[in-house]
Structure 1
């Protein structure tokens, strides 16, 4: 896009941004005719490089695909490129129309400014004559005027203002010495009042009216003494809890029995194993000490070898640097020569651009005339063909209507014992189908009876299991209540028979 940067300006940045957004993300919604209308309404010199770049898939992959993939999803970028490829043929037609506007001669004969051609500039030696500093005379020194002198003391104006201020102060003092001009007092303030008593009464009444009286809380009702009936889930949970508690008690008893056994053999074996571990630790320590000494010696040798290899690599790198420096100098010379040759070829190619453009415009104009003639011929042929087809259709309609008037209505009798005769694998008559349905219903009823018997057996088994567990839970409750009553009676007995040391000592 920036190959023709001389015809573009940076003021068109917003215009290109909006057009690129519509082309990449909203072209299917906007439709191609509307987008083409928008592009053709802009200056063709600005739109031609833009359309060539935006609808060229190769340019987008080379210049913007990598930066887009770093920000957006790869599938999203591929979808955008696929949508651009979908409108490539229409974009090529728009580019050709823009080229005709840009490069074709103006039919009104208006002047078109030719493109800017870069020309090499010539270096010339400046002919400026240097001034002779020996003949130059220094300027005269600048003499500033002295500051004005002020008289000591106050000025005449300040003295007059001071006299006026003093006279005004004396007038004010004489005015306020008179009792008539003293600060006045309100007689209502000097009269006796009971305002404080009234204020106190009002505040007390306000406090009484707004005093917070807390609500009385009713006592909580007594808990019901009726035993709660257990459902199936509660019964199973309580049975599982009792079973878990019994398993824990069983494990405690087994552990207690295990701890009562003789452990002399275990202690003897433990002492032997401890001695063997000490011997193995001593051997391991000696082995590690020798291993560390050998590792230090190997590290010293490896360091010396590494330094020697590094010095050898440094010498090789210096030689390679010299060779690469000479190679870079030679490549820079070759690059300068290639640039000069490329500049010469570009200048030669630009001279024949104008002639090539005129030839292209003439060829396109002739091609357009041929296409117009062919399109007119095809239009005439299609009109004739449509007329012939319409006549044939009218004739067929007339024949069909004539057949409809002559046709008669015939009814066909249906036999329930006959099949359709379509050649299918599961063909049967209506009577056979009814018989098959009766057999299938009997088989389904038999299967349903079997399932019902199984469900009934499972329910009876579950009911027996729940009765057994309910019996166990009831028995455990009776045992727990008996234990609790025994503990309670034991505590009461010890509370009554409390020992008094003073009575035992006879004090």
Structure 2
């Protein structure tokens, strides 16, 4: 098979592939079986198809920018062809060699191939933006070793191929000039027209010179510049105060924590966040009637059999353990006792840690509240200062606006005086246009009347034709045919019978089927009853085991709860660190309450007088 057919099959298999209907393997198998290719050709087509699907993103990095920048005149239907050429140049050039690759290129349109290869085979583009785009998709080492290095190694031969294509394009674009006979000039024998008279020029109307637009219209108001300058000045002052405060901050304060401290804080936050359930869905409680009544859980057959098998296996394990103890096996009671003691120690340590973290969290919460109260007081002072400055600026701004409005009012009165003449001319133009519109409306009404009359005549003719067709269809036609159910059709087929005989045979067949169904129904019912008896026996065993497990777990939970409470009380009374943390927390809380009491707003004498006067006015 020649190179042109090979490249055609490679492009065709990619174009006909739809990933939503078939997998790549099934599509490749169906395509090769339908084309009857040779073994070598089929292997080449399958390798190109699988490789192009695998590295489709690499080909798109080259083809899409080509169509956006240099793809004018190149049809979009050739996009798959360009992807195949890109794949062969990047991954199969060492295997094919330059002669075969050159033959693949020469079988296609050399104008398109020259445009694409001139865009792609460019050393500066390959080392700059193409390499950057490939590095976003794959590792830099893979891009350098598997993509760029082989291509740069073949770059001299590829550049020579591009130059050959350019020579072909230039040779085709230089058309051969034909020697055309010279045209002999012959004068027309026409009568010379009289020279036209020069028309008189139209008088140019003299318009009143307009006043130029004031420059202040394109300038920002002075207030905006003042406010901007004031903002910059305030920001610089705030930055200066910040620098001064940071320069004289306390030497004992250390804001930077060590890495170990940060890790521990992060771990504590994660553990505390896992305990919180703010976003969890809170279900509605069940009614009291349902909670008070013990509703049994309905189990299906598979669940009953599975649970019965589980309990039987447990029985076997217990029996096996007892038999081993009877035969002299080792008892693990000492190990279980030691394990219980170790768990108790771990529980005490965990409870102490939880209580310490809770107290530390409360202390940090109290510190944060005190800092916030201090920040609120500072912000209130700054707001009062800003209000006074804003009132002064607004007063200046209102005064300037009043002066500008008076100036604009005088300008408007001057402009209105010059517009009276323009209004008269505009009024005459409106009257002339209204007259033209009236004439056009009268002509359109006449045309509409004629069109309506013609449409009405056409509708009458169609209605008459419909009446005639319906009268012909309503004529009665005799289609009655006498049928005898005891006679055969007379086609002389084998086993031919009449309709009556057929009905009789069908009734006998239905009776036979009914008897068979009744027999099957009886068998099914017997099997179902035996299965139900087996399930009831298994369910009785399950209920006994469940009751025993529930009782044992309830006793275990009660013992564990009592043990945990006693351990917690013992730790709180015996741990000195927890007691000291509790005392510090009480001190912080008292300090916070005292600060809140100071921050409460106390009414002044003036506000009390105003309130009492307002109440008297309401009563009167």
Q: TM-score, normalised by structure 1?
A: 0.29
Instruction: Decide which structure has the larger Cα Rg and report it.
Output: 1
Q: TM-score, normalised by structure 2?
A: 0.24
